[in-house]
Amino acid sequence: MRSLLTMLGIIIGVSSVISVITVGNGGRDYIVGMIREMGSSAITIGVDATTAANSDYITDKDIEAIKSLESVQYVSPMVMSMGSLSTENVTGIGMLIGGNEEMRYVMSTECKYGRYFTEAEGAAGRAVCVMDTTSALQFFGKKNCVGEYINYSVNGVTTTLRVIGVTDMYSAFGSDSESMMESMQAMGGAQMAGGMIFVPLKFCTSFLGMSDRYDTVYIIASDENELDAAGNAALNRIRARHNNYDKDCYMLTNLATYIDLLDTVINVFTIFIAAVSAISLIVGGIGVMNIMLVSITERTREIGIRKALGAKTSNILFQFLTESVILCVIGGTIGLLLGVSGAALVSSIMDIPLQVKFSTIALAIGFSSFIGIVFGVYPARRAAKMPPIEALRRE
């Protein structure tokens, strides 16, 4: 019982460190991987409205020029509008997103039902739309609403759109439409419906009364390793066409930069929490040293008899140092098992992958052994240097 209580600090320390590192690694890989799937090779070029003139905005000719670049695979302008969506029985807020036929690659989600609009439908400005499954459930009560009609209104003007495709947008965020609906209802969202629809760019600009000039364009690079080159080439092509090299009116954003930044932030946060948890290992090491000192006092005659029978100082030192290390290694192993079990439970609840790495296991066992050595040296040296006559004299 005393040994178990001695190991308790080591067990708690190792299990907490293992849980934090394992869950942190799994969460980091899950979040970063999710964002990468959404478009790790995506670049955006935006127009700074505070410095740009009307002639500086991106045009359809600019889009064609960007698309001709070898380093660019897909390109689509993006136009957004907030209004209201309605069917016969449901009315709610809605976001209208306009893009060309290549927007499907920018969004990185395929249609679960139906299809995206084609280049011909985009050129003709057809009143068709693609919506996400959560919006479909809210407005139609079913996921597959292909062939249904939905109304979009903004600034007192209403248009009717035919649904030709349904995409599961929230699958990219590790969720699904049912769980998203449950979350919205839990937050009081059952009273207010909301949705998002994607429409052809020409229809969007015509309906909104906009000119064919855009302030945002999304670009997918041909090679994920050449993001900066593709972004700079596209930006230079726009500047050359508008002859505005002397104006700082464009903002180039590499989404991969944010992925690397997020990766770094999560790593730093995980290491910080693990370091805080490791404080209990120091406390556990002090407990081991304390119990070893008590053990030496109780086993004074044993030490004296061993030295009288010829045991060397190194033998006594090794004996007590080994006991200290064994206590810490056993505690570290128990902590490892508890930590992995706890991490597995958290991972299953949070629906993230379990990432148990060999380096984490080696860290747990190695650090607990190190604690045993560091905090066992003093008691072991004290026992080893005890004079045999004085040891035999003690009752």
What pLDDT is recorded for position 183?
47
Q: What share of the chain is helix, strand, coil (3-state, %, to 5)?
A: 60, 20, 20
Cα 383 to chain center, whole Å?
Answer: 52
Mean pLDDT of the chain: 80
Nearest to 77 by CA among 211, 167, 228, 227: 211
Q: Quick one: 204 and 316 in the same domain? A: no
pLDDT of residue 173: 43
Q: Tell the burial category of 372 from Cβ atoms under 10 Å away from its Cβ (0-12, 13-18, 19+).
A: buried
The answer to whether residue 257 is domain-embedded is no
Residue 40 pLDDT: 54
Looking at the fold, whether 17 and 114 belong to one and the same domain comes out as no
Same-domain status, 10 and 117: no
- For residue 44, is it within any domain? no
Looking at the fold, whether 215 and 269 belong to one and the same domain comes out as no
Confirm whether 42 is domain-assigned.
Answer: no
Give pLDDT, residue 219: 87
Please check whether residues 208 and 291 belong to one and the same domain.
Answer: no
Residue 322 has pLDDT above 60, yes or no: yes
Model pLDDT, residue 259: 67
Q: 259-314, pLDDT tens digit by residue?
A: 667 677 777 777 777 777 677 777 777 777 777 777 777 777 777 788 788 888 88
Q: 188 and 321 share a domain? A: no
* CB of 212 closer than 8 Å to CB of 33: no
Examine the pLDDT at 184 and tell me if it is beyond 50.
no
Tens digit of each residue's pLDDT (9 = 90 or more) over 81-96 = 999 999 988 888 888 9
Within-domain flag for 284: yes
| Residue 258 forms part of a structural domain | no
* Domain co-membership, 191 together with 298: no
Give me the pLDDT at residue 267, please: 75
Are 17 and 60 in a shared domain? no
pLDDT at 148: 93
Q: What is the pLDDT of residue 395?
A: 55
**Tens digit of each residue's pLDDT (9 = 90 or more) over 114-135:** 999 998 998 898 999 999 888 8
Same domain, 152 and 204: yes
- Which of 28-42, 143-157, 273-287 is modeled with the greatest confidence? 143-157
List, for residues 333-357, the tens digit of each pLDDT value: 888 888 888 888 887 877 777 777 7
* Cα-based distances in Å from 21 to 271, 275, 342, 371: 7, 10, 12, 19
CA angle 306, 311, 314 (to 5 degrees): 125
- Predicted confidence (pLDDT) per residue in 206-233, tens digit: 998 887 888 889 888 887 777 778 888 9
Mean pLDDT of 73-77: 89
Residue 22: is its pLDDT beyond 70? yes
> Has residue 39 been placed in a domain?
no
Nearest alpha carbon to residue 392 among 274, 326, 306: 306
Are 181 and 113 in the same domain? yes
Task: Provide, rounded to the nearest whole percent, the portion of the chain with pLDDT above 70.
Answer: 86
Q: What is the pLDDT of residue 391?
A: 63
Mean pLDDT within 188-194: 53
pLDDT given at position 37:
57
pLDDT at 175: 46
Six-digit token string for 210: 């906009």
Question: What pLDDT sits at residue 41?
Answer: 62
Residue 169's alpha-carbon distances to 38, 44, 111, 131, 362, in angstroms, are: 10, 20, 9, 9, 40
Assigned domain for 151 exists = yes
Can you give the residue range of the structural domain that contains 140? 49-248
Q: Same domain, yes or no, for 94 and 214? A: yes
Q: What's the pLDDT band for 188 if we cut at 50, 70, 90?
A: very low
Average of per-residue pLDDT across 181-191: 45
What's the pTM? 0.58
- Residue count of the chain, please give it: 395
**More confident position, 27 or 192:** 27
What's the domain count of the chain?
2
Asked if 141 and 207 sit in the same domain, the reply is yes
